[in-house]
Amino acid sequence: MSIKLSTQRLILAGAAALALSVVGTVATAAEDMPALPQHDWSFKGPFGTYDRAAAQRGFQVYKEVCSACHSLDLLYYRNLTELGLTEDQVKAIAADVQVPDINDDGQPIERPGRPSDHFKKPFPNEAAAAAANGGKAPPDLSVIVKAREGGPNYVYGILTGYVPYDKLTPEQIKEFNVSKDDNFNLYFLGHRIAMPQPLDDNKVTYVDGTKATLPQEASDVVTFLAWASEPHLEARNRTGVRVILFLLVMAGLMYATKRAIWADKH
């Protein structure tokens, strides 16, 4: 029996090791890049949940700063109720924007937004977005936290990783060919990033009175964007804990049954 048990452990350990080694190898080694800041996110781990207050503040940062250039196309205004906003608040937020539509006479019009509308894009189309931003459209932020190596830590790193030109060492300026008009970011591949530093101390005035420091704004908006990328994370974690507990109990029962059935064969 002990031999069987160890074989089984070996298989499980092997499968896990295989899976983990693959995770390790797929992650591309970033050469000459500083390690990303490791933030203690509320949504980390199997019991993680989104800090609602942080996510609401993050939405305020997105609305007042990021949304000038970045769309959030996969979200509807109605989704905001999941962050704890009331339906009336969501209606008011949606009504604040004018969205293009076609009226009953078939004429193009602009009307106040509704909760069932997608978040309004800052530019009518990709070409307009590119033209207004030096030739390259700013990426949509709907799944940005899942679309970058490092996830929330990467986005947080980018938002807090700007170094002003006069603080750069001569070596950095030379090595990365930085000019006075460039934006230097510690965590961006190649360091020269098209986006000027978007956030700074007191960039927004939080409605809940929280002090708007740069790290505070950055971690708030990353919490909001993490929710936007993975809105069902809390349901997923809750279901996962139950499923795994169920499977563990079931495995125990099946093992006991299996032993009883095999009792006369060993």
Partner 1 sequence: MASSHGAPPVFNNKVIAWIDHRLPIFSYIEKEYHTFPTPRNFNYFWNFGAIATVMLVLMIATGVVLATNYQPNAELAFASVERIMRDVPSGWLIRYLHMNGASFFFIAVYIHIFRGLYYGSYKAPRELLWMLGVVILLLMMATAFMGYVLPWGQMSFWGATVITNLFSAIPVVGDSIVTWLWGGFAVDNPTLNRFFALHYLLPFIIVAVVALHVVALHVHGSNNPLGIDPKGPQDTVPFHPYYTMKDGFGVVCFLIVYAAFVFFMPNSLGDVANYIPANPMVTPNEIVPEWYFLPFYAILRAIPDKLGGVLCMFGAIAVLFVLPWLDTSRVRSCSFRPIYKWFVLLLVADVIVLGICGAHPPEGWYVPAARLATVYYFFHFLILLPVLGKIERPLPLPSSIAEAVLKKKAG
Residues annotated within the binding site are 66, 69-70, 195
Q: Show the site string, 42-71: x = touches partner 1 by CB under 8 A, - = not.
A: ---xx-------------------------
Interface map 136-175 toward partner 1 (x if CB under 8 A): ---x--xx--xxxx-x------------------------
d(CA 117, CA 73): 10
Residue 84 CA to residue 80 CA, distance in Å, equals 7
**C-alpha atoms less than 13 angstroms from C-alpha of 204 in its C-beta half-sphere:** 25
CA dihedral 32→38→39→43, nearest 10 degrees, is 110
- The C-alpha atoms of residue 246 and residue 39 are separated, in whole angstroms, by 32
Site map for partner 1, 98-137, x if CB under 8 A? ----------------------------------------
* Residue 65: half-sphere exposure toward Cβ, Cα within 13 Å: 24
Question: Left (φ > 0), alpha (ψ -120 to 50) or beta: where does 71 sit?
Answer: beta
Shorter beta-carbon distance to partner 1: residue 27 or 68: 27
Of 16, 131, 132, 194, the residue at the interface with partner 1 (CB under 8 A) is 16
**Counting contacts by CB under 8 A, is residue 28 touching partner 1?**
yes
Cβ closest to partner 1, residue 83 vs residue 212? 83
- Angle (deg, nearest 10), helices 214-229 and 151-160: 150
| Residues forming the site for partner 1 (CB under 8 A) | 3-4, 7-8, 11-12, 14-16, 18-19, 21-23, 25-26, 28-29, 45-46, 74, 79, 139, 142-143, 146-149, 151, 189, 229, 231-232, 235-237, 239-241, 243-244, 247-248, 250-251, 254-255, 257-258, 261-262, 265-266
